[in-house]
Structure 1
Amino acid sequence: MSIAVDRRAVLRRRIRLLVAATITYNVIEAVVAITAGTIASSIALIGFGLDSVIEVSSAAAVAWQFAGPDHERREKVALRVIAGSFFVLAAYVTVEALRTLVGGHEPERSDVGIALVAVSVVIMPFLSWAQRRAGRELGSASAVADSKQTLLCTYLSAAVLVGLVLNATLGWWWADPVVALGLAAVAVREGREALRGETCCPPVRLDDEDGCDCCAEEDEATS
């Protein structure tokens, strides 16, 4: 079942707005997190801020894709950028988590950091859900992949929040890096799926010239 031209235009505009909101929020988040992390000597908070920078690069790839008149032709490049951002995120989180565990670094309490991450845990899932819904309806693998990047950042936010709270209340400084290592494994998996275009149903390969039209095929199968 094909999507009407007017509906496709609405979905493309919606995705552009959601991407713009994601970029704006992550820029603010990065500045506040890195500043608060530097003040508190918190590797977790600094890493959280740098993760926001990586999320901006992923969202910017989708923004670039949908800025052109024919977004399907830019799908593969956007997917590769998003996949790369997953791998960079996984590498950074792994290195910093291991450094924190080996070094036994105990950061100071950061109320600003706790408040910032708590807000992110609330806002980011909504942005991820809205973009994933629009991307699936439009049949855009890159939009769905970027929504997964945003959702993964939500999980990272929750891990950082737990780590900051446990450190502030119980002195469990090791909680955040342990959880972060698990998230790094998830990031690698999501990066591999994005690289192969497996963000819709059924999987769409990067060498498939027809692009991602998973939602239409799904509708035909269930009709």
Structure 2
Amino acid sequence: MNMASVWFTPKRLLWASVAVAVITIALKTLAWWLTGSVGLLSDAMESLVNLASAMFGLLMVTVAEAPPDEDHPYGHHKAEYFSSGFEGILIIVAGLGILWAAGHRVFDPQPIEQVGLGLVLSVGSSALNGLLAWVMFRAAREHRSLALEADARHLVTDVWTSVGVVVGIVLVGVTGWLWLDAVVAMAVALNILKEGAHLVWQSSQGLMDEAVESEVQQQIEQLLEGFVYKIDGRAIIRFDHVVTRKAGQRRFVDMHMHMPSNWSLGHAASLRNRVEKTLMEAVPGLRATIQLLPSDVEAHFDDPKDTP
């Protein structure tokens, strides 16, 4: 792991997200106060959600780092999914609030004042969010952190929100149509709702033991293929019932490994250890569980009582 990934840890970046959220709330609230733009008000409201999301994400990342215990033998890695789901719900609530506020302003448009200074404040805060989101996306891939990815996606949404607001204010200035400010704010709210729904769906899939990424599954299959041994077309060493799942930053794979029944336990265990070591060294965060079976024995899981 390089020095950048060591420095830009999920907790440090989420603390940075909290600090940036406080700064952007102040800048955007000032911009709204100066201009009276409902679009800038919607922008400031979403920044409040950024702050709450970053604080909750920080809490969940702290929980996820806790070691396994008697009640949680597989660890606490799934706590990050709660962060993503919570953030998605907050985004949806903020989007609905913006729709409500903008809907009233469509029929009662208000003039926008001190546009230049308001735009400068909005663009400056968006630049901060954009820079932090870029760093967080890179760190999220490095650390496989859903909490970081969710917060980065939210910050990107905030950037696009600000872009939409700026466009709305410019259009009002060019056309003189005051209702455009509210219409753009409503369009921004719809985009926010879409992003919130995506985060809620993503977290739900993780809580339901979603399989690892397709490219990781292919990598596992290729590594296992290197240990398959055949004689006259008959597999002497083979693998089946390979099942994967994700839990936050951790990945798991379970499988059956078939080998000759006349092998000693020590020989069989030695080969299994080699397979486990190869898999876990090649795939970051992977934990492999391998059950040994003779080559001529099949395991069956389709118990009639478990079939609906």
TM-score exceeds 0.5: yes
Please give the secondary structure, in 1, of the residue aligned with 2:55.
Answer: helix
- How many residues align? The count is 212
Please give the secondary structure, in 1, of the residue aligned with 2:168.
Answer: helix
Equivalent of 1:62 in 57, 77, 80: 57
Determine whether 1:113 maps to 2:118: yes
Q: How do 1:74-223 residues align onto structure 2 when only pairs under 5 Å count?
A: 74-197=79-202, 204-208=205-209, 214=213, 217=216, 220=219
1:15-34 CA-partner distances (Å, limit 9, x unpaired) = 32322222212212212322
Identity %: 22
Please give the secondary structure, in 1, of the residue aligned with 2:9.
Answer: helix
CA RMSD of aligned residues (A): 3.2
Contact 1:114 1:165 in 2 (8 A): no
What one-letter code is carried by the residue in structure 2 that aligns with 1:112? L
1:73-128 CA-partner distances (Å, limit 9, x unpaired) = 41232122111122012112211221221212222233332111111333322221
Distance 1:185 1:161 in 2: 17
Q: CA deviation at 1:196?
A: 2.2
Q: Which has the higher contact order (CA 8 A, sep 6+)?
A: 1
Are the structure 2 counterparts of residues 220 and 115 from structure 1 closer, same or farther at C-alpha, using a change threshold of 3 Å?
same
Greater strand proportion: 2
Greater helix proportion: 1
What one-letter code is carried by the residue in structure 2 that aligns with 1:177? A
User: TM-score, length-normalised on structure 2?
Assistant: 0.59
Distance 2:178 2:221 in 1: 50
Q: Which runs of 5+ in 1 are unaligned?
A: 1-5
Q: CA deviation at 1:132?
A: 1.8
Are the structure 2 counterparts of residues 215 and 61 from structure 1 closer, same or farther at C-alpha, using a change threshold of 3 Å?
farther
Instruction: Give the structure with higher Rg (CA).
Output: 2
Which moved further from structure 2: 156-165 or 28-37? 28-37
Q: Which runs of 5+ in 2 are unaligned?
A: 67-75, 223-308
